[in-house]
Structure 1
Amino acid sequence: MIDASQMLPLLVEASPGFAGSWKEFEADCADDSQPSYYIVLGSFARHLCDLLAPGDEAALRRVFAVVERLHIEGDSYVQEAATVGLLEDMQNTNMHRKDTLPEQFERFLLPESARWWKRLHGFWREGQTLVGD
């Protein structure tokens, strides 16, 4: 099972260009017993938007393979963070550059991540519940 402390190292391994930001976050939170990974996931979402613009498909495919693992193999915190901390930020148009759109990520989503992506859309656009079936 993937826990919170393993989540970002896996994402950084898939996209090493984020390593500097991750190290900075780790240094800032060195004294925190429970750091808020949602903050750094927001930064990672913006990093992914930056990868989307030039079309770095290889890096995006690696990242989305990890995101799928987080949804399937993560503990409850990691699963929620992968959805609410990462996918939701990727859907936020304010995170995007002028030359990218959230929908451009959809082709990289794997089945479980795609399911949560759609549920987020339903939550924000139609008021559907996010959890529960």
Structure 2
Amino acid sequence: MLTRKTMIAPLLDTHPALDAPWQAFRDEWEHLPPEEYPLYLFMEDLVGECSALLHRGDEAAVQAIFDVLETWLTQGDKYVTDCAIVGFIEDMQNTNLHGSGTRPDQFRRFLGPQGRIFWRKVDRFWSHGEIITDDRR
């Protein structure tokens, strides 16, 4: 099971270009032990990277990152799944975080089965005020 302490490793293995932003994040939060890092804040950097990748046409790299998202949703503990949902998916739907001229809807095709479920739940939260629940637990 992936935990707060282990969830970033598969991401860095998949997309080593995130090493520098990850190190900057760790430097910013060095006063905390790694198991207390507020990883949901790093998700904004991840969304920015996905936006830049898609803008450059690197769909394979975007898909690889979204495959990690699916792993977080299927193999993560509660913190990891919450971070994936309220961190990454919610940030991905925020048009203000698409600095490279991409739009949230352009990323839906990269979602796996669990990602699609939670994308809809986050969308329903913002459009209808429905509470985001994880019905799998």
* Aligned equivalent of 1:73, options 75, 87, 91: 75
Percent same amino acid at aligned positions? Answer: 34
Query: Which residue of the partner structure matches residue 25 of structure 1?
Result: 25
Query: Which residue of the partner structure matches residue 57 of structure 1?
Result: 59
The two structures, once aligned, show a CA RMSD in angstroms of 1.4
Alpha carbons of structure 1 residues 30 and 132: separation in structure 2 relative to 1, 3 Å: closer
- State the Cα deviation string for residues 54-81 of structure 1 (Å, max 9, x = none): 1211111111111001001000000000
- Cα contact 2:90–2:122 (8 A) shared by 1: yes
Alpha carbons of structure 1 residues 132 and 24: separation in structure 2 relative to 1, 3 Å: closer
* Aligned equivalent of 1:38, options 37, 40, 43: 40
Scaled by the length of structure 1, the TM-score of the pair is: 0.93
Q: CA deviation at 1:132?
A: 5.4
Structure 2: tracts of 5 or more residues without a match: none
Scaled by the length of structure 2, the TM-score of the pair is: 0.91
Q: CA deviation at 1:98?
A: 5.5
Structure 1 consecutive aligned stretches of length 4 or more whose deviation exceeds 6 Å: none
In 1, Cα distance between equivalents of 2:114 and 2:100: 28
Alpha carbons of structure 1 residues 132 and 44: separation in structure 2 relative to 1, 3 Å: closer
Structure 1: tracts of 5 or more residues without a match: none
Q: Which amino acid aligns with 1:22?
A: W
Corresponding residue pairs, total? 133
